[in-house]
Amino acid sequence: MQSTLPRITQLLALAACLAACNEAGNDGSSDTGEETAETETSDSAETETSAGETEAGETEAGETEVGETETDGTDTAATGTVTVSGNAFTFGVGSESRVSGATITILEMPEQQAITDDDGYFEFTGLPNGAEASFRLEKDGNPVVHTKTFTLPEEEGATVEHVTFQVPNDATFDALATILQIEPSEDLCQIASTVTRVGKSLYDAGAHGEAGATVTIEPALPEEAGPVYFNADVIPQHDLVETSADGGVVYTNVPPGTYTLTAHKEGVEFETVTVRCEASVLANPSPPYGLQAL
């Protein structure tokens, strides 16, 4: 899904309109989700290094803390040679906007931790070769977001770059829920992704979707869960039967579990993605590691 301020403003306005219509019909009230997201960013982090524990250094004002690790007696940095880096992008206010001060962890290696800098950048070093890694972002004022599950390279000294998060704030998330006509359940998760043209990613300006594709998920879900495709204005539209130039797709209120998404279009081959879907989480494998055309 691409990110543009005029379009997300349109999305919020449409959500407000839908909510007002529901109120007129039901004498009830509907939350458009237009609330201010408060974010708290830690100014510095004290670290200690002792036998079996490894942490990144303390940060001063204006400095960046990257790849901080906490090991609880097991030095995972000594067991591998893979470096993973990337950026967290804000969905809805332009691709140039990044998410700073977010905590990034790895589901399969909970002792690993990094904090995004002012450019949304994060980095992990010394990760185990050949291991699975699903990255998780947490920050006040935003839903918790997961990437896809990566299988790290076996090669010595390998690097995985441009791992991305596409993160809505709480107001945008609530507006999308209103348009989708759902009440997100704390016991369920939401799954989104982008069917992306060859060579495109969140680092490129403008739309990057592969239009005319369909998406399936395994294990299969009830029809009411989706897929719902995003139109070219980056708004989910229930009557669409394939992707637009935006490429966005979403499944709603999904039971926790592990799911594999596959994109289909005649003459085009796509990467498949596997996600770990947990309660109250938005799993959003985003370009260049979403449903990428090859």
Q: Tens digit of pLDDT for each residue in 76-103? A: 344 799 999 999 999 864 445 899 999 9
Is the CB of residue 287 less than 8 Å from the CB of residue 239?
no
Residues 146, 259: Cα–Cα separation, whole Å: 13
Q: Read off the pTM.
A: 0.75
Which range marks the domain in which residue 137 is found?
81-292
Of 89-98, 200-209, 224-233, 247-256, the poorest mean pLDDT is in: 89-98
Q: Is residue 110 part of a domain?
A: yes
Angle at 267 between CA 261 and CA 273, to 5 degrees: 15
Q: Is residue 55 part of a domain?
A: no
- DSSP reduced 3-state for 24: helix
Q: Is residue 210 part of a domain?
A: yes
Q: Is residue 138 part of a domain?
A: yes
Please report which confidence band the pLDDT of residue 2 belongs to, taking 50, 70 and 90 as the band edges: low
Q: Is residue 283 part of a domain?
A: yes
Q: The tokens of 33 are what?
A: 């989700």
Is the CB of residue 259 less than 8 Å from the CB of residue 239?
no
Q: Is residue 214 part of a domain?
A: yes
Percent of the chain predicted with pLDDT > 70: 72
Q: Would you say residue 185 has pLDDT above 50?
A: yes
Residue type, position 106, single letter: I
Is the CB of residue 241 less than 8 Å from the CB of residue 255?
no
Task: For the chain, give the mean pLDDT.
Answer: 81
How many CB atoms within 10 Å of residue 198?
A: 12
- CATH number of the domain bearing residue 268: 2.60.40.1120
- DSSP reduced 3-state for 56: coil
- The tens digit of pLDDT for each residue in 152-178 reads 999 999 999 999 999 999 999 999 999
Report, as an integer, the average pLDDT of 212-241: 96
Q: Is residue 111 part of a domain?
A: yes
Q: Would you say residue 72 has pLDDT above 70?
A: no
Q: Is residue 160 part of a domain?
A: yes
Report, as an integer, the average pLDDT of 233-253: 96
Split into its structural domains, the chain has a count of 1
- Between residues 293 and 32, the one the model is more confident about: 293
Q: The tokens of 225 are what?
A: 């869960």
